[in-house]
Amino acid sequence: STVNKRFNKTAFQAAVNKYLVTKLATLPEQADAHAWRLAMEYALAETTTMNLLATEQDPKIKNARSVNYLSLEFLIGRLTGNNLISMGLYEEVTVAMAEFGQNLTDLLEEERDPALGNGGLGRLAACFMDSLAAEEYPAVGYGLHYEYGLFKQSFNDGRQQEAPDVWRDETGYPWEVIRPELAQKVGFYGKVEEYTDNDGLNQRRWLPGLQVEGMAWDLPIVGYNNNSVYPLRLWECRALAPFSLERFDEGNYVAAQASHIQAGNLTKVLYPNDNHDKGKELRLMQQYFHCACSVADILRRHQAAGHSILDLAKLESIQLNDTHPTIAIPELLRILLDEHHLSWDDAWAISSKTFAYTNHTLLPEALETWGEQLMTTLLPRHMEIIFDINLRLMGEVAHKWPGDIEKLRKLSIIQEGDERRVRMANLCVASTYAVNGVAAMHTELVKRDLFPEFNELFPGRLHNVTNGVTPRRWLKFCNPKLSALISSKIGTGWIKDLGQLQKLEKFADDSQFQMDFMCVKKANKQRLTDWVAENMGLTINPDAIFDVQIKRLHEYKRQHLNLLHILSLYHRLINDADFKMQPRVFIFASKAAPGYELAKEIIFAINKVAEKINNDPRIGDTLKVVFIPDYRVSLAEIIIPAADVSEQISTAGKEASGTGNMKMALNGALTVGTMDGANVEIREEVGDDNIFIFGLNVDEVQALQAKGYNPYDYYNSDQLLRTSLDLLAGDEFTPGQPGLLNATRHSLLAGGDPYLVLADFADYVQAQGRIDKQYGDQKSWAKMAILNTARNGKFSSDRSIRDYANNIWQLNAVSR
Ligand code: 26W
């Protein structure tokens, strides 16, 4: 079918005018940029909402197999610019708004990011929705409608401050549409009752003690250059009004109101933890609320389309984005068993062929477990079902390894101990038809280190699907100059088929193309330079190397290794008259989980070091350190196109994949990185000559830790390391207040340096030296940068989604 791209400018302008008046109560003569932007978005949303409904109603979609992507996080970023690109209306709307005297670029800058996610996992979910719609695989994304997204970050004397993130305007968010007819009820607490049904069979049912309402909000996910618009359905928790008292013991009115208030708060705020499980009751309530609403909605759609419940696994796949939505499994089983009265075997046959699970981390502290007590109190029937699943699992294990208690202990969903706990990852592996890691090396480690026994018990269940990023947002939209240059050489096919970028390879040695490519990079660096000047009052030199580390703050990501290298440069610039280096600007942007003390200390240390270096007259332009506050998608869109060097320096074996590494390489940055996550595959694609690999590999890391790692061995024998680290001990960066930066230093010495920063320091400094030298040869740098853009086509999320569709979901595209 053809795409209806006919754009009626007059009608569009009339709609904008209408919304200015009817929705924003203002007039064209009085409206500010904010009002113009909202009116424009409401006008555009007329089309996306219509197409959302048309897609939903299309019998081809209703009868097609589809995927349901369940995630507690969707870090979608600003929608307007991206939607304009997908709708093919960017130029047209630029003109239409210009005739109102409004500059589209400025209007787009007005939009706040919906930050409904923490980092990699949430952003991946957003890229996947974009690719599902672009590839037209029938899909629904299910998430939560948090009132506050990830906190807003600012610095006070270098220390992170958190403030609530209000992403919705008082007048509403133009792109979303409320769907009251899809509202669901969700229970909590209460008890399980046994009863005899009309056929004389024993049945069980859950009588919740508290009920809340799940209200559905749909955001349109607009397919690039096609007619498909899929919903990202976000559930908002509301207290049921009038709240029913019958379920409360003694009908305690005040207690009922307390619950009423609590219930209203369920989706108030996104938990800001990344890779750390805190096991809070409210978080489990959010997870169950999300799962109950989503599973009920999937069943509603399935049945409304006239399909039998017995055919659920034939038509629906449910992908669990990490273990956060695991409770959807016992929820579906509960409905099949207690409401549809299927036998266990029939219910299990459906549920175990419907769910698939993606693992995003090997870090033990990130693997979720929930105490039996809490589970039993909050979700008594689900806890029973989990025990039933485990009983059968233990039977299978005992059958496979007779008499092997150790295997039972390791594979059990229930972790024994002072308090029994439910291991959500074990529950997932035992109850899904496919489990996948997110990069080749990560998947190998899942098989080898995390689930070796499960891999034996369920051969073929473990898959790899290497992550990817959407080329629409992360190249076409964020880097218009590079996009235009690429398209001038190879046409526009790359936007939907990123592998076509390899056609650029033949221009890698072309002097003119090298100059054009570097010219674009320079312009992007100038754009970031201007942004930094305007927003931070800092002057940086766009001719310097822009060296970028942007990601959540975590010890395993080793921002402090980067800091140590900066300290070593500072030391040498001041103390070694012979030391010369290319001017470099080190750019950080990163949020620390509010409860992660050391991460916040590392931010403080970087900020304090930056303050001193940036104002040291001996250093001048040669070395600058910029920590940009409030890292978010819209900031990444400015930083990534400006990066020369991409810092991907995690301890080998700790970063499951990384996706920022892909975004920066795609935009022509050279990676300095360890053999970790998707860095391994980026190296495979670009070739060893076009990437700077350093440090211990995963086997060396494990061997060193097995033999007993002692950071002092490195501290005592490497003078540059010792000098650099000791700079943090005095008051060099905190005049008059010695020791203020000790926490970071301490963690690397007496603290045992759990992520082997000191072990990798020397090799890292060497790799950085090679970068410095290489940048001196601009022609060969240009060639390397071009080859990075040309050879990163594999890392399109379109390819990831096709891998899921072909190898896990068994989905066919449906074009409309
Ligand atoms: C329960 C607390 C919690 C919260 C978030 C635990 C774990 C998480 C996420 C799984 C953390 C995360 O975002 N992981 C990242 O996922 C990306 C997408 O697959 C990968 O590229 C990153 O390497 C991985 O760290």
Would residue 192 count as lying in a domain?
A: yes
Helix or strand holding residue 343 (H, E): none
Mean pLDDT over all residues of the chain?
Answer: 96
Q: According to the model, what pLDDT value does residue 2 have?
A: 42
Q: How many domains are contained in the chain?
A: 3
Residues 223 and 150 in one domain: yes
Residue 274 CA to ligand 1 centre (angstroms): 6
User: If you measure from the C-alpha of residue 124 to the centroid of ligand 1, how many angstroms do you get, rounded to a whole number?
Assistant: 10
Residue-wise pLDDT for 613-650, tens only, equals: 999 999 999 999 999 999 999 999 999 999 999 999 99
**Encoding tokens for residue 379?**
């979700």
The pLDDT tens digits of the residues spanning 564-600 come to 999 999 999 999 999 999 999 999 999 999 999 999 9
Say if residue 167 is in the same domain as residue 283.
yes
Domain assignment of residue 816, yes or no: no
Going from the Cα of 455 to the center of ligand 1, the distance in angstroms, rounded, reads 22
Of 239, 243, 265, 264, nearest in space to 252 by CA: 243
Assess whether pLDDT exceeds 90 at residue 169.
Answer: no
- 360 as an active site residue: the answer is yes
Ligand 1 atom, smallest distance to 442 CA: 23
Q: What is the pLDDT of residues 32-73, one digit of tens each?
A: 999 999 999 999 999 999 999 999 999 999 999 999 999 999
Q: What does the block give as tokens for 526?
A: 């100038």
Predicted local distance difference test score (pLDDT) of residue 257: 58
In three-state secondary structure terms, 229 is: strand
State the Cα–Cα distance between residues 428 and 718, nearest whole angstrom: 46
Q: Which of 145, 301, 334, 557 is catalytic?
A: 557
Q: DSSP label at 744?
A: H
Atom of ligand 1 nearest to the CA of 655: 23
How many alpha carbons lie under 13 Å from residue 741 in its C-beta half-sphere? 28
* 443 and 533 co-located in one domain: no
From 74, 121, 144, 423, the mutation candidate for ligand 1 (largest count of ligand atoms within 8 A of CB) is: 121
User: Is the separation of the CB atoms in 565 and 764 below 8 Å?
Assistant: yes
* 242, pLDDT greater than 70: no
Cα atoms found within 13 Å of the Cα of residue 245, Cβ hemisphere only: 9
How far does residue 442's CA lie from ligand 1's centre (Å)?
12
CA 754, CA 748: separation in Å to the nearest integer? 8
Strands 692-693 and 184-188: unpaired
For ligand 1, what atom is nearest to the CA of residue 73? 5
Q: Whose CA is nearest to atom 21 of ligand 1?
A: 658
Contact in structure between 447 and 455 (CB atoms under 8 Å): yes
Confirm whether 562 is domain-assigned: yes
Rounded percentage of the chain residues whose pLDDT exceeds 70 = 97
| Cα–Cα distance, 152 to 632 (Å, whole number) | 9
Number of Cβ within a 10 Å radius of residue 722:
14
Cα of 361 to ligand 1 centre, how many Å? 6
Q: Ligand 1 centre and the CA of 168: distance in Å?
A: 25
The enclosing H or E element of 547 equals strand 545-550
Q: What is the mean pLDDT of residues 213-223?
A: 98
> Best of 128, 150, 274 to mutate for ligand 1, by most ligand atoms within 8 A of CB?
274
Kindly name the residue from 659, 671, 734, 744 that is annotated as catalytic: 659
Please name which of 114, 110, 109, 135 lies closest in space to residue 126, comparing C-alpha atoms.
114
What's the gap between Cα 757 and its chain centre? 25
Cβ atoms within 10 A of the Cβ of 769, count? 12
Contact at 8 Å (CB) between 52 and 231? yes
The model's pLDDT over 336-366, given as tens digits with 9 standing for 90+, comes to 999 999 999 999 999 999 999 999 999 999 9
Q: Is the pLDDT of residue 248 over 60?
A: no
Assess whether 148 and 269 both reside in one domain. yes
| The two structure tokens encoding residue 318 | 């449910």
Residue 1: band (very low, low, confident or very high) from pLDDT cuts 50, 70, 90: very low
Residue identifier of the C-alpha nearest atom 18 of ligand 1:
121
Tell me, yes or no, whether 366 and 399 share the same domain. Answer: yes
Show the CA angle centred on residue 704, arms to residues 699 and 705, nearest 5°: 100
- Identify whether residues 765 and 723 lie together within a single domain: yes
CA of 615 to the centre of ligand 1 (A): 37
In a domain, 509, yes or no: no
- Per residue in 387-399, pLDDT (tens digit) is 999 999 999 999 9
Q: Which of 461, 663, 791, 794 is catalytic?
A: 663
Q: Is residue 756 part of a domain?
A: yes
Domain identity same for 53 and 120: no
Q: Is 144 contained in some domain? A: yes
Q: Which two tokens stand for residue 689?
A: 């000559």
Q: What residue owns the CA closest to ligand 1's atom 8?
A: 275
**Residue 358: half-sphere exposure toward Cβ, Cα within 13 Å:** 27
Pair (557, 667) in one structural domain: yes
Residue located nearest, by CA, to atom 9 of ligand 1: 275
Catalytic: which of 360, 521, 794, 799? Answer: 360
C-alpha to C-alpha distance for 593 and 169, rounded to whole angstroms: 26
183-222 exposure pattern, b = at least 16 Cβ within 10 A, e = fewer:
bbebbbbbeeeeeeeeeeeeeeebebbbbbbbbbbbbbbb
- 443 and 565 inside one domain: no
Ligand 1, pocket residues at CB < 6 Å: 118-121, 124, 273-277, 322, 360-361, 366, 368, 438, 467, 655-659, 677
Q: What is the model's pTM? A: 0.97
For residue 6, the model assigns a pLDDT of: 80
Q: Which residue puts its alpha carbon closest to atom 12 of ligand 1?
A: 121
On whether both 769 and 695 belong to a single domain, the answer is: yes
- Using the atom order of ligand 1, give the atom closest to the CA of residue 677: 23
- Do 287 and 404 sit in the same domain of this protein? yes
pLDDT of res. 684: 98
| Catalytic choice (381, 473, 552, 632) | 552
Residue nearest to atom 22 of ligand 1 (CA): 658
Among 321, 360, 681, which is best to mutate for testing ligand 1, by the most ligand atoms less than 8 A from CB? Answer: 360
Angle of helix 33-57 relative to helix 9-22, nearest 10 degrees, comes to 110
Closest of 112, 234, 108, 217 to residue 167, by C-alpha: 112
475, part of any domain: no
Q: How far is the CA of 770 from the centre of ligand 1 (A)?
A: 31
Catalytic site includes residue 659:
yes
pLDDT digits (tens, 9 = 90+) for 677-705: 999 999 999 999 999 999 999 999 999 99
From first CA to last CA, the distance across the chain in angstroms is: 6
Going by CA atoms, what residue is nearest to atom 16 of ligand 1? 121
- The rounded distance, in Å, linking the Cα atoms of 48 and 112 is 20
In the chain, the amino acid numbered 500 is Q
- The 10s digit of each residue's pLDDT in 262-312 is 667 899 999 999 989 999 999 999 999 999 999 999 999 999 999 999 999
Which amino acid residue places its CA nearest to atom 10 of ligand 1?
360
Q: Residue of the nearest CA to atom 3 in ligand 1?
A: 275
Q: pLDDT category, 240, cuts 50, 70, 90?
A: confident
| CATH assignment at residue 406 | 3.40.50.2000
Tell me the average pLDDT across 473-499: 98
Same domain for 250 and 315, yes or no, is yes
Q: How far is the CA of 70 from the centre of ligand 1 (A)?
A: 15
Q: For residue 717, what are the contacts with CB-CB under 8 A and spacing of at least 6?
A: none
Instruction: Give percent helix, percent strand, percent coil of the chain, each to the nearest 5.
Output: 50, 15, 35
Spatial distance between the Cα atoms of 170 and 237, rounded to a whole number of angstroms: 18
- Give the domain range for residue 618: 525-794
ipTM: 0.98
Q: Can you give the pLDDT at residue 254?
A: 61
Examine residue 587 and state whether it is found in any structural domain, yes or no. Answer: yes
Q: Ligand 1 mean position to 96 CA, how many Å?
A: 41
